[in-house]
Structure 1
C-alpha cells in the first residue's frame, strides 16, 4: 500500500472543502444515513459523521481499509461501520439517504465511478436519496504551444544517424498527465467545449464518445488537446480540474497529435474522443483529429489510440 498517494488526497484542501460543503448542505443531523464508497483512509466518512449523520457505512476494498479502521477508532467515530469490500460486492446492502464517492481520476472515469454509482443507486440508495457527485462534464480544448510536444518528440533529436520513429509514434499514442496554463490553449480555457456529460447513478454506460470543433479567427498551429473535468457535487457546489480553477491534486491530460496541424483563419479543427472503462480491463482511450478547410472539406486526419502506445 502506498500511503503517499493517500497523503496527496488528504493534502488537497480544495477537494476536501468541496466535499465537506456538499455534505454539510445535504446531511440532516441525527437523521441522514450515508454510504461512503471508496472510503480510503476514511476522511469523507468521518466528515459525514462529524456533520451529524446518524449512520455512516464506509466501503473500502484495498489494504488502506486497515488504516481507515484504525482512524475511525482513533477518532472515536460513532455510528461508523467499515465494510472491507467493494460496494458492488456487498450482498443485500443497507439502504441509505446519501451515497458519496470520491473515486475520480485525472481521467474522470478511470476508477469506474459510473458503474459503481449506477449499482449504488439501484441497490444502496433509498428512493429520493442523493448521490454525490451528481454530474460530471468532460472538457477539451486545442493546445497551441509546443512545450509538451517537444518533450514527447525527443526521439527525433537523439542523433548518431539513428531512426527512432517507431518509438516516437508510440509516445504520441499515449495520454499524459500535465499541468497546462490557460494561455497555452486556443482562446484560453474559456474556449473549451464539453464533449461528454454524465448523470451519475442513472447513467450506466462505461463507454463514452463525443466530439468538439473550433473555427479559427486567425492562423494557429495545434499540437494536441487538453482535457479536464468538472464535477457537480450538489447544486451550487462544483469541483473542477480546469487550468484556471483552484489547484487540486488532479492535473489536466494532454492528448498529443502525431503531427502538428497548422490551421488558417476560417478553417476548423475537430476532435472526437472515445473511452471505455471497466474493472476487468481498465481504461482504454482513443482520439481522432480532423483539419477542415473553410469549405468544410477534410485536409488532414489523424487517429490515435492509447493501446498503440503500449509495448506488446
Structure 2
C-alpha cells in the first residue's frame, strides 16, 4: 500500500482547504447526502460529515480502503459508510445530492476522472445535484530555458567514444514532473493558453486533443512545453497547479522537444497535445510541435510519443 503517497495528500493544505471550502458552500446540515469517489484515507468524506452531511458514501477500491474504515471508526462518523469498490462497479448505487472526487494527477486525467464522473452523473447523482470538481482547464506554454533540456540530453556527454543516441531518444519521448519559475517560460508564463477544457460529469470523452500556438514578438529558443491545469471545484473556488499558484503536492509537467526550435521575431510555434486514459491501459500522451515562418510556411515539425519513451 502506498501510504506515503496518501501522506502527501493529507499534507497538502491548499488542496484540503479548497475541498473543505467547496463542501461548506454546498452542504445543508442534516439534509445533504454526499458520495466521495476515490476516498483514499477518507479525509474528504469525513470533512463532509463534520460539515453536517446527513449521509456520506465513501467509494474506495484500493487497499487504502482498510485505512479509511479504521479512520471512520476512530472518528465515530456514523453517517459515513465505506463502499470498498470502484463507484463504476457499484450496482444500483444510492443517489446523492453531491458527488466529490479528488482523483486528479499531475496530468489532470491520469486517474480516469472523466469516465468516473460521467458514470457518477448518470448513476450516482440526483437530478439537480452538484459535481465537485465541476470543470478542468488544461494549459500549455513554451519553455525558453534549457535547464531541463540539458538534463535530458546528458547522454550526449558521456564520452568514451560511446554513442547513446537511442537512450537519448527515449528520454525525449517522455513527460516529466517538474516545477518551473516564471523566467523559464515565454512571457514569464503569461503567454500560457488553454488547449483543452472539460466539464466533468457531462463530458464523456476520455480521449483529449487540443492545440495552442504563439507568434513570437522577439527571437526565442523553445526547448519544450510546460503544462498545468486549473480545476473549478464550485463557482468561485479554483485549484491550480500553475507555477504562480499556491504550492500544492502537484507540480507542472514538461513535454520535451527532440531538438530546440530557434524562432525569429514574427515566427510561430504550434503544439498539438493528445491524451488517452483508461483503467486498463493507463495514460497515453503524444505531442507534436510545428515551427512556422513569418509567412505561415512550416519550417520544422517534431512528433513525440510517450509510448516511445518506455522500455518494454
TMscore range, shorter length:
over 0.9
Deviations 1:67-106 (A, max 9, x none): 0000001101121100000000000000000000000000
* Alignment correspondent of 2:86: 86
Matches within 5 A, 1:159-178: 159-178=159-178
If the length of structure 1 is used for normalisation, what is the TM-score? Answer: 1.00
2:22 counterpart of 1:22: yes
2:128 counterpart of 1:153: no
* Alignment correspondent of 1:290: 290
2: CA distance, partners of 1:190 / 1:28: 39
> How many residues get paired?
312
1: CA distance, partners of 2:3 / 2:142: 36
2: CA distance, partners of 1:25 / 1:183: 37
2: CA distance, partners of 1:141 / 1:78: 47
* Alignment correspondent of 2:40: 40
* Alignment correspondent of 1:2: 2
Matches within 5 A, 1:32-181: 32-181=32-181
Deviations 1:92-149 (A, max 9, x none): 0000000000000000000000000000000000000000000000000000000001
Deviations 1:248-307 (A, max 9, x none): 000000000000000000001000000000011100000000000000000000000000
Q: 5+ unaligned residues in a row in structure 2: which ranges?
A: none
1:2: how far off?
Answer: 1.5
1:216: how far off?
Answer: 0.4
Deviations 1:225-258 (A, max 9, x none): 0000000000000000000000000000000000
2: CA distance, partners of 1:186 / 1:154: 24
1: CA distance, partners of 2:292 / 2:188: 21
Deviations 1:1-24 (A, max 9, x none): 021100000000000000001000
* Alignment correspondent of 1:31: 31
Aligned-partner SS, 2:6:
helix
1: CA distance, partners of 2:166 / 2:249: 33
Deviations 1:140-178 (A, max 9, x none): 000000000100000000000111001100100000000
* Alignment correspondent of 2:257: 257
1:50: how far off?
Answer: 0.3
2: CA distance, partners of 1:232 / 1:9: 19
* Alignment correspondent of 2:280: 280
Aligned-partner SS, 2:57:
strand
How large is the Cα RMSD of the aligned pairs?
0.4
* Alignment correspondent of 1:218: 218
2: CA distance, partners of 1:160 / 1:122: 61
Q: 5+ unaligned residues in a row in structure 1: which ranges?
A: none
Aligned-partner SS, 1:188:
helix
1:183: how far off?
Answer: 1.4
2: CA distance, partners of 1:28 / 1:71: 24
2: CA distance, partners of 1:284 / 1:57: 31
